[in-house]
Structure 1
Amino acid sequence: MTARQKTLVSLAGPAANLVLAVLLLAITWAFFDPAHLVFWSGLAFLGFLQVTAVVLNLLPVPGLDGYGALEPHLSPETQRALEPAKQWGLFILLILLFTPVLNRWFFSVVFWFVDLSGVPSQLVSIGSQLTRFWSAWL
Protein backbone atom coordinates (compact mmCIF):
# COMPACT_ATOMS: atom_id res chain seq x y z
CA MET A 1 0.00 0.00 0.00
CA THR A 2 1.36 3.45 -0.87
CA ALA A 3 1.78 6.24 1.68
CA ARG A 4 -1.15 8.08 0.08
CA GLN A 5 -3.38 5.01 0.35
CA LYS A 6 -2.43 4.53 4.01
CA THR A 7 -3.31 8.17 4.66
CA LEU A 8 -6.68 7.77 2.95
CA VAL A 9 -7.43 4.64 4.98
CA SER A 10 -6.68 6.53 8.20
CA LEU A 11 -8.94 9.39 7.15
CA ALA A 12 -11.86 7.10 6.21
CA GLY A 13 -13.16 6.81 9.79
CA PRO A 14 -13.16 10.55 10.52
CA ALA A 15 -14.70 11.15 7.09
CA ALA A 16 -17.57 8.79 7.94
CA ASN A 17 -18.05 10.59 11.27
CA LEU A 18 -18.07 13.91 9.44
CA VAL A 19 -20.70 12.77 6.93
CA LEU A 20 -22.90 11.50 9.75
CA ALA A 21 -22.40 14.73 11.74
CA VAL A 22 -23.38 16.86 8.75
CA LEU A 23 -26.47 14.72 8.09
CA LEU A 24 -27.64 14.73 11.71
CA LEU A 25 -27.07 18.44 12.22
CA ALA A 26 -28.53 19.42 8.83
CA ILE A 27 -31.67 17.37 9.47
CA THR A 28 -32.00 18.91 12.93
CA TRP A 29 -31.52 22.42 11.56
CA ALA A 30 -33.96 21.92 8.67
CA PHE A 31 -36.77 20.05 10.40
CA PHE A 32 -36.62 21.07 14.08
CA ASP A 33 -40.07 21.08 15.66
CA PRO A 34 -40.35 22.32 19.26
CA ALA A 35 -43.33 19.99 19.77
CA HIS A 36 -40.83 17.09 19.68
CA LEU A 37 -38.04 18.63 21.74
CA VAL A 38 -36.75 15.34 23.17
CA PHE A 39 -36.29 13.79 19.72
CA TRP A 40 -34.59 16.83 18.18
CA SER A 41 -32.37 17.35 21.21
CA GLY A 42 -31.26 13.74 20.99
CA LEU A 43 -30.51 14.10 17.28
CA ALA A 44 -28.56 17.32 17.90
CA PHE A 45 -26.56 15.59 20.64
CA LEU A 46 -25.77 12.67 18.31
CA GLY A 47 -24.48 15.21 15.78
CA PHE A 48 -22.38 16.81 18.51
CA LEU A 49 -20.90 13.40 19.41
CA GLN A 50 -19.97 12.82 15.77
CA VAL A 51 -18.24 16.21 15.59
CA THR A 52 -16.43 15.34 18.82
CA ALA A 53 -15.26 12.07 17.25
CA VAL A 54 -13.99 13.90 14.16
CA VAL A 55 -12.03 16.48 16.14
CA LEU A 56 -10.64 13.88 18.55
CA ASN A 57 -9.62 11.42 15.84
CA LEU A 58 -7.93 14.04 13.68
CA LEU A 59 -5.53 15.06 16.45
CA PRO A 60 -2.01 13.96 15.44
CA VAL A 61 -1.60 11.78 18.52
CA PRO A 62 -0.01 8.33 18.05
CA GLY A 63 -2.78 5.76 18.07
CA LEU A 64 -5.38 8.09 16.55
CA ASP A 65 -6.34 8.52 12.91
CA GLY A 66 -4.75 11.97 12.66
CA TYR A 67 -1.38 10.43 13.42
CA GLY A 68 -2.18 7.47 11.17
CA ALA A 69 -2.69 9.90 8.29
CA LEU A 70 0.69 11.52 8.93
CA GLU A 71 2.68 8.42 9.83
CA PRO A 72 3.32 7.12 6.28
CA HIS A 73 4.98 10.44 5.45
CA LEU A 74 7.34 10.41 8.45
CA SER A 75 10.87 9.07 8.29
CA PRO A 76 11.31 5.42 9.32
CA GLU A 77 13.33 6.59 12.34
CA THR A 78 10.50 8.85 13.52
CA GLN A 79 7.96 6.08 12.97
CA ARG A 80 10.03 3.66 15.06
CA ALA A 81 10.52 6.24 17.81
CA LEU A 82 6.77 6.92 18.06
CA GLU A 83 5.65 3.28 17.75
CA PRO A 84 5.58 2.62 21.54
CA ALA A 85 3.42 5.72 22.08
CA LYS A 86 0.59 4.29 19.95
CA GLN A 87 -0.69 2.05 22.72
CA TRP A 88 -0.84 4.93 25.21
CA GLY A 89 -1.74 7.90 23.01
CA LEU A 90 -5.51 7.84 23.45
CA PHE A 91 -5.24 7.07 27.16
CA ILE A 92 -2.86 9.97 27.78
CA LEU A 93 -5.02 12.28 25.66
CA LEU A 94 -8.14 11.39 27.64
CA ILE A 95 -6.32 12.08 30.90
CA LEU A 96 -5.15 15.43 29.53
CA LEU A 97 -8.72 16.29 28.52
CA PHE A 98 -9.65 16.18 32.21
CA THR A 99 -7.52 19.27 32.77
CA PRO A 100 -9.83 22.31 32.63
CA VAL A 101 -7.75 24.36 30.17
CA LEU A 102 -7.41 21.59 27.57
CA ASN A 103 -11.02 20.51 28.09
CA ARG A 104 -12.27 24.05 27.44
CA TRP A 105 -10.05 24.40 24.38
CA PHE A 106 -11.09 21.04 22.92
CA PHE A 107 -14.82 21.54 23.41
CA SER A 108 -14.68 25.15 22.22
CA VAL A 109 -13.35 23.75 18.92
CA VAL A 110 -16.13 21.13 18.87
CA PHE A 111 -18.85 23.69 19.63
CA TRP A 112 -17.41 26.05 17.02
CA PHE A 113 -18.01 23.39 14.37
CA VAL A 114 -21.46 22.55 15.76
CA ASP A 115 -22.37 26.25 15.75
CA LEU A 116 -21.51 26.39 12.03
CA SER A 117 -24.49 24.10 11.45
CA GLY A 118 -26.92 26.64 12.86
CA VAL A 119 -28.29 24.13 15.38
CA PRO A 120 -28.79 25.91 18.73
CA SER A 121 -26.30 24.74 21.35
CA GLN A 122 -29.21 24.58 23.81
CA LEU A 123 -30.53 21.55 21.89
CA VAL A 124 -27.17 19.82 22.31
CA SER A 125 -27.19 20.61 26.04
CA ILE A 126 -30.72 19.26 26.47
CA GLY A 127 -29.77 16.12 24.53
CA SER A 128 -26.72 15.67 26.74
CA GLN A 129 -28.83 15.97 29.89
CA LEU A 130 -31.38 13.49 28.55
CA THR A 131 -28.71 10.84 27.99
CA ARG A 132 -27.52 11.05 31.59
CA PHE A 133 -30.16 8.67 32.90
CA TRP A 134 -28.07 7.84 35.94
CA SER A 135 -28.31 11.41 37.26
CA ALA A 136 -31.89 10.66 38.35
CA TRP A 137 -30.44 8.28 40.96
CA LEU A 138 -27.87 10.70 42.36
Structure 2
Amino acid sequence: MNTAAARSDRRISPVFLGIVAVMAISGWAVWTGFAPRTGFPLFLFVTAAWVVSLCLHEYAHARTALHSGDISIGAKGYLTLNPLKYTHALLSIVLPVLFVIMGGIGLPGGAVFIERGRIRGRWKHSLISAAGPLTNVLFAAVCTAPFWLHALDGVPVAFQYALGFLALLQVTAAILNFLPVPGLDGYGVIEPWLPHRIRRQVESFAPFGLLAVFAVLWIPEINHVFFDAIHGLLRALGISELTTYCGFDTYRFWRTAAPVCTAG
Protein backbone atom coordinates (compact mmCIF):
# COMPACT_ATOMS: atom_id res chain seq x y z
CA MET A 1 0.00 0.00 0.00
CA ASN A 2 1.16 3.50 -0.81
CA THR A 3 2.56 5.13 2.34
CA ALA A 4 0.83 8.46 1.69
CA ALA A 5 -2.50 6.69 1.12
CA ALA A 6 -2.05 4.71 4.33
CA ARG A 7 -1.46 7.89 6.31
CA SER A 8 -4.56 9.45 4.74
CA ASP A 9 -6.63 6.39 5.67
CA ARG A 10 -5.61 6.84 9.30
CA ARG A 11 -5.79 10.62 9.60
CA ILE A 12 -8.32 11.70 12.23
CA SER A 13 -11.43 13.10 10.56
CA PRO A 14 -12.41 16.78 10.99
CA VAL A 15 -15.92 15.48 11.72
CA PHE A 16 -14.65 13.61 14.77
CA LEU A 17 -12.51 16.56 15.85
CA GLY A 18 -15.59 18.77 15.58
CA ILE A 19 -17.54 16.42 17.88
CA VAL A 20 -14.64 16.46 20.34
CA ALA A 21 -14.64 20.27 20.20
CA VAL A 22 -18.37 20.35 21.01
CA MET A 23 -17.72 17.98 23.91
CA ALA A 24 -14.90 20.15 25.24
CA ILE A 25 -16.74 23.47 24.92
CA SER A 26 -19.99 22.16 26.39
CA GLY A 27 -18.02 20.41 29.15
CA TRP A 28 -16.45 23.75 30.00
CA ALA A 29 -19.93 25.33 30.03
CA VAL A 30 -21.20 22.67 32.46
CA TRP A 31 -18.12 23.06 34.68
CA THR A 32 -18.30 26.86 34.84
CA GLY A 33 -22.07 27.04 35.21
CA PHE A 34 -22.56 28.86 31.91
CA ALA A 35 -26.35 29.21 31.27
CA PRO A 36 -27.16 27.71 34.70
CA ARG A 37 -30.93 27.93 34.23
CA THR A 38 -30.96 25.42 31.38
CA GLY A 39 -29.63 21.89 30.99
CA PHE A 40 -28.67 22.49 27.36
CA PRO A 41 -24.88 22.56 27.98
CA LEU A 42 -25.13 19.27 29.88
CA PHE A 43 -27.24 17.82 27.06
CA LEU A 44 -24.61 18.82 24.50
CA PHE A 45 -21.74 17.55 26.64
CA VAL A 46 -23.28 14.14 27.36
CA THR A 47 -24.49 13.64 23.78
CA ALA A 48 -21.14 14.63 22.27
CA ALA A 49 -19.23 12.44 24.75
CA TRP A 50 -21.58 9.55 23.98
CA VAL A 51 -20.96 9.93 20.23
CA VAL A 52 -17.21 10.11 20.88
CA SER A 53 -17.44 6.84 22.80
CA LEU A 54 -19.39 5.26 19.92
CA CYS A 55 -16.65 6.33 17.50
CA LEU A 56 -13.95 4.92 19.76
CA HIS A 57 -15.96 1.71 20.12
CA GLU A 58 -16.04 1.20 16.36
CA TYR A 59 -12.43 2.30 15.99
CA ALA A 60 -11.42 -0.43 18.43
CA HIS A 61 -13.20 -3.02 16.29
CA ALA A 62 -11.55 -1.70 13.14
CA ARG A 63 -8.05 -1.34 14.56
CA THR A 64 -8.12 -4.85 16.03
CA ALA A 65 -9.35 -6.22 12.69
CA LEU A 66 -6.54 -4.43 10.87
CA HIS A 67 -3.90 -6.04 13.08
CA SER A 68 -5.68 -9.39 12.75
CA GLY A 69 -5.41 -9.47 8.97
CA ASP A 70 -8.17 -7.35 7.41
CA ILE A 71 -6.08 -4.80 5.54
CA SER A 72 -9.18 -3.44 3.78
CA ILE A 73 -10.22 -1.56 6.92
CA GLY A 74 -8.20 1.56 6.15
CA ALA A 75 -9.68 2.07 2.69
CA LYS A 76 -13.18 2.02 4.16
CA GLY A 77 -12.34 5.04 6.34
CA TYR A 78 -12.94 3.25 9.64
CA LEU A 79 -9.60 4.35 11.08
CA THR A 80 -10.40 8.05 10.71
CA LEU A 81 -12.98 7.98 13.54
CA ASN A 82 -15.50 9.56 11.16
CA PRO A 83 -18.98 8.27 12.10
CA LEU A 84 -20.23 9.13 8.60
CA LYS A 85 -18.01 6.36 7.22
CA TYR A 86 -19.79 3.61 9.12
CA THR A 87 -21.74 0.97 7.24
CA HIS A 88 -24.99 1.90 8.99
CA ALA A 89 -24.80 5.46 10.30
CA LEU A 90 -28.44 5.19 11.40
CA LEU A 91 -27.79 2.12 13.55
CA SER A 92 -24.38 3.30 14.71
CA ILE A 93 -25.08 6.89 15.74
CA VAL A 94 -28.68 8.03 15.30
CA LEU A 95 -30.43 5.14 17.06
CA PRO A 96 -28.04 5.01 20.05
CA VAL A 97 -28.52 8.76 20.58
CA LEU A 98 -32.32 8.36 20.32
CA PHE A 99 -32.20 5.53 22.87
CA VAL A 100 -30.37 7.85 25.28
CA ILE A 101 -32.91 10.63 24.75
CA MET A 102 -35.92 8.32 25.07
CA GLY A 103 -34.92 6.26 28.05
CA GLY A 104 -31.42 6.99 29.27
CA ILE A 105 -30.21 3.64 27.90
CA GLY A 106 -26.72 3.26 26.47
CA LEU A 107 -27.77 0.84 23.76
CA PRO A 108 -25.00 -0.05 21.31
CA GLY A 109 -25.18 0.21 17.54
CA GLY A 110 -23.84 -1.88 14.69
CA ALA A 111 -21.34 -0.27 12.36
CA VAL A 112 -18.11 -1.37 10.75
CA PHE A 113 -18.03 -4.08 8.08
CA ILE A 114 -15.12 -6.44 8.66
CA GLU A 115 -14.02 -8.91 5.99
CA ARG A 116 -13.89 -11.93 8.26
CA GLY A 117 -12.59 -14.15 5.47
CA ARG A 118 -9.24 -12.35 5.66
CA ILE A 119 -8.81 -13.26 9.34
CA ARG A 120 -7.47 -16.60 10.54
CA GLY A 121 -7.90 -17.91 14.05
CA ARG A 122 -10.96 -18.05 16.29
CA TRP A 123 -9.26 -16.06 19.04
CA LYS A 124 -8.70 -13.16 16.64
CA HIS A 125 -12.36 -13.12 15.65
CA SER A 126 -13.40 -13.12 19.29
CA LEU A 127 -10.96 -10.35 20.17
CA ILE A 128 -12.25 -8.16 17.33
CA SER A 129 -15.77 -8.44 18.70
CA ALA A 130 -14.69 -7.87 22.30
CA ALA A 131 -12.58 -4.80 21.49
CA GLY A 132 -15.59 -2.48 21.12
CA PRO A 133 -17.34 -3.11 24.45
CA LEU A 134 -13.98 -3.18 26.22
CA THR A 135 -13.65 0.43 25.04
CA ASN A 136 -16.94 1.20 26.81
CA VAL A 137 -15.53 -0.43 29.93
CA LEU A 138 -12.48 1.83 29.71
CA PHE A 139 -14.67 4.89 29.12
CA ALA A 140 -16.77 3.93 32.14
CA ALA A 141 -13.64 3.63 34.25
CA VAL A 142 -12.65 7.18 33.29
CA CYS A 143 -16.13 8.55 34.10
CA THR A 144 -16.34 6.77 37.44
CA ALA A 145 -12.72 7.39 38.54
CA PRO A 146 -13.43 10.69 40.35
CA PHE A 147 -16.09 8.90 42.41
CA TRP A 148 -14.23 5.77 43.47
CA LEU A 149 -11.01 7.76 43.94
CA HIS A 150 -12.92 10.22 46.17
CA ALA A 151 -11.58 13.07 44.05
CA LEU A 152 -14.75 15.16 43.82
CA ASP A 153 -13.51 18.15 45.84
CA GLY A 154 -13.92 21.20 43.66
CA VAL A 155 -15.91 19.36 40.98
CA PRO A 156 -19.15 21.29 40.30
CA VAL A 157 -22.33 19.38 41.12
CA ALA A 158 -23.65 19.74 37.56
CA PHE A 159 -20.47 18.16 36.21
CA GLN A 160 -20.86 15.31 38.70
CA TYR A 161 -24.37 14.78 37.36
CA ALA A 162 -23.01 14.65 33.81
CA LEU A 163 -20.25 12.17 34.71
CA GLY A 164 -22.71 10.01 36.63
CA PHE A 165 -25.13 9.85 33.71
CA LEU A 166 -22.29 9.21 31.25
CA ALA A 167 -21.05 6.39 33.47
CA LEU A 168 -24.51 4.84 33.45
CA LEU A 169 -24.58 4.98 29.64
CA GLN A 170 -21.15 3.38 29.33
CA VAL A 171 -21.89 0.62 31.83
CA THR A 172 -25.19 -0.24 30.15
CA ALA A 173 -23.53 -0.18 26.73
CA ALA A 174 -20.78 -2.53 27.89
CA ILE A 175 -23.18 -4.97 29.52
CA LEU A 176 -25.67 -4.97 26.66
CA ASN A 177 -22.90 -5.30 24.10
CA PHE A 178 -21.58 -8.39 25.82
CA LEU A 179 -24.96 -10.15 25.72
CA PRO A 180 -24.70 -13.31 23.56
CA VAL A 181 -27.46 -12.08 21.25
CA PRO A 182 -27.03 -12.34 17.45
CA GLY A 183 -26.04 -8.97 16.08
CA LEU A 184 -24.33 -7.85 19.29
CA ASP A 185 -20.65 -8.10 20.13
CA GLY A 186 -21.21 -10.69 22.84
CA TYR A 187 -22.46 -13.13 20.23
CA GLY A 188 -19.51 -12.20 18.02
CA VAL A 189 -17.17 -13.28 20.83
CA ILE A 190 -18.67 -16.77 21.09
CA GLU A 191 -19.69 -17.26 17.45
CA PRO A 192 -16.31 -18.58 16.22
CA TRP A 193 -16.54 -21.35 18.81
CA LEU A 194 -20.04 -22.52 17.87
CA PRO A 195 -20.79 -25.39 15.48
CA HIS A 196 -21.32 -24.29 11.89
CA ARG A 197 -24.91 -25.58 11.95
CA ILE A 198 -25.88 -23.30 14.84
CA ARG A 199 -24.19 -20.29 13.25
CA ARG A 200 -26.17 -20.79 10.06
CA GLN A 201 -29.44 -21.12 11.96
CA VAL A 202 -29.08 -17.88 13.93
CA GLU A 203 -27.51 -15.84 11.12
CA SER A 204 -30.89 -14.57 9.89
CA PHE A 205 -31.71 -13.16 13.35
CA ALA A 206 -28.62 -10.92 13.54
CA PRO A 207 -30.24 -7.81 11.98
CA PHE A 208 -32.98 -7.85 14.61
CA GLY A 209 -30.91 -8.58 17.73
CA LEU A 210 -30.40 -4.94 18.70
CA LEU A 211 -34.07 -4.04 18.34
CA ALA A 212 -35.09 -7.19 20.20
CA VAL A 213 -32.94 -6.20 23.18
CA PHE A 214 -34.46 -2.72 23.21
CA ALA A 215 -37.98 -4.19 23.01
CA VAL A 216 -37.27 -6.51 25.94
CA LEU A 217 -35.88 -3.63 27.99
CA TRP A 218 -39.13 -1.76 27.36
CA ILE A 219 -40.93 -4.37 29.49
CA PRO A 220 -41.27 -2.64 32.90
CA GLU A 221 -40.43 -5.69 35.02
CA ILE A 222 -37.27 -6.47 33.07
CA ASN A 223 -36.33 -2.81 32.90
CA HIS A 224 -36.54 -2.50 36.70
CA VAL A 225 -34.42 -5.60 37.31
CA PHE A 226 -31.83 -4.50 34.75
CA PHE A 227 -31.45 -0.98 36.10
CA ASP A 228 -31.45 -2.17 39.70
CA ALA A 229 -28.40 -4.24 38.79
CA ILE A 230 -26.81 -1.28 36.96
CA HIS A 231 -27.36 1.07 39.89
CA GLY A 232 -26.00 -1.56 42.28
CA LEU A 233 -22.79 -1.70 40.25
CA LEU A 234 -22.55 2.08 40.09
CA ARG A 235 -23.08 2.36 43.85
CA ALA A 236 -20.15 0.02 44.32
CA LEU A 237 -18.14 2.50 42.24
CA GLY A 238 -19.26 5.44 44.40
CA ILE A 239 -22.02 6.85 42.18
CA SER A 240 -25.39 7.22 43.84
CA GLU A 241 -28.66 6.65 42.05
CA LEU A 242 -29.53 10.27 42.82
CA THR A 243 -26.50 11.44 40.83
CA THR A 244 -27.42 9.43 37.74
CA TYR A 245 -31.08 10.39 38.04
CA CYS A 246 -30.20 14.08 38.31
CA GLY A 247 -27.91 13.71 35.31
CA PHE A 248 -30.74 12.28 33.22
CA ASP A 249 -33.25 14.77 34.60
CA THR A 250 -31.01 17.72 33.71
CA TYR A 251 -30.17 16.15 30.34
CA ARG A 252 -33.85 16.32 29.34
CA PHE A 253 -33.83 20.13 29.36
CA TRP A 254 -36.76 20.36 26.92
CA ARG A 255 -39.33 19.03 29.39
CA THR A 256 -42.06 21.49 30.35
CA ALA A 257 -42.00 20.39 33.99
CA ALA A 258 -39.51 22.12 36.28
CA PRO A 259 -36.37 20.01 36.78
CA VAL A 260 -36.23 18.08 40.01
CA CYS A 261 -32.48 18.53 40.45
CA THR A 262 -30.49 21.73 40.55
CA ALA A 263 -26.79 22.40 40.51
CA GLY A 264 -27.04 24.58 43.56
Q: Tell me the residue number matched to 2:125.
A: 6
Opposite residue 129 of structure 2, the aligned amino acid is S
Q: Tell me the residue number matched to 1:105.
A: 225
Structure with the bigger RCO (C-alpha within 8 Å, sep 6+) is 1
Q: Tell me the residue number matched to 1:74.
A: 194
Q: Is 1:25 matched up with 2:144?
A: yes
SS at match of 1:31: coil
Q: CA deviation at 1:112?
A: 2.1
Asked if the contact 1:33/1:40 (under 8 Å) is kept, the reply is no
| Moved segments of 4+, more than 4 Å | none
Separation in structure 2 between the aligned mates of residue 13 and residue 109 of structure 1, nearest angstrom:
22
Separation in structure 2 between the aligned mates of residue 39 and residue 136 of structure 1, nearest angstrom:
23
CA gap of 1:35–1:85, structure 2 versus 1, over 3 A, is closer
SS at match of 1:94: helix
Q: Tell me the residue number matched to 1:61.
A: 181
Q: How does 1:85-96 map to 2 (within 5 A)?
A: 85-96=205-216
Whose radius of gyration is greater, 1 or 2?
2
Asked if the contact 2:231/2:240 (under 8 Å) is kept, the reply is no
Q: Tell me the residue number matched to 2:249.
A: 129
SS at match of 2:156: helix
Identity of aligned residues (%): 35
Q: CA deviation at 1:16?
A: 0.6
Q: CA deviation at 1:123?
A: 1.0
What TM-score results when the alignment is normalised by the length of structure 2? 0.50
Aligned length: 138
Separation in structure 1 between the aligned mates of residue 147 and residue 155 of structure 2, nearest angstrom:
13
Separation in structure 1 between the aligned mates of residue 182 and residue 196 of structure 2, nearest angstrom:
15
Opposite residue 100 of structure 1, the aligned amino acid is P
What is the CA RMSD across the aligned residues, in angstroms?
A: 1.7
- Which 5+ residue runs of structure 1 have no aligned equivalent? none
Q: Tell me the residue number matched to 1:15.
A: 134
Separation in structure 2 between the aligned mates of residue 111 and residue 61 of structure 1, nearest angstrom:
23
Asked if the contact 2:184/2:209 (under 8 Å) is kept, the reply is yes
What TM-score results when the alignment is normalised by the length of structure 1? 0.92
Q: Is 1:120 matched up with 2:240?
A: yes
Flag the structure with higher helix content.
Answer: 1
Q: CA deviation at 1:34?
A: 7.4
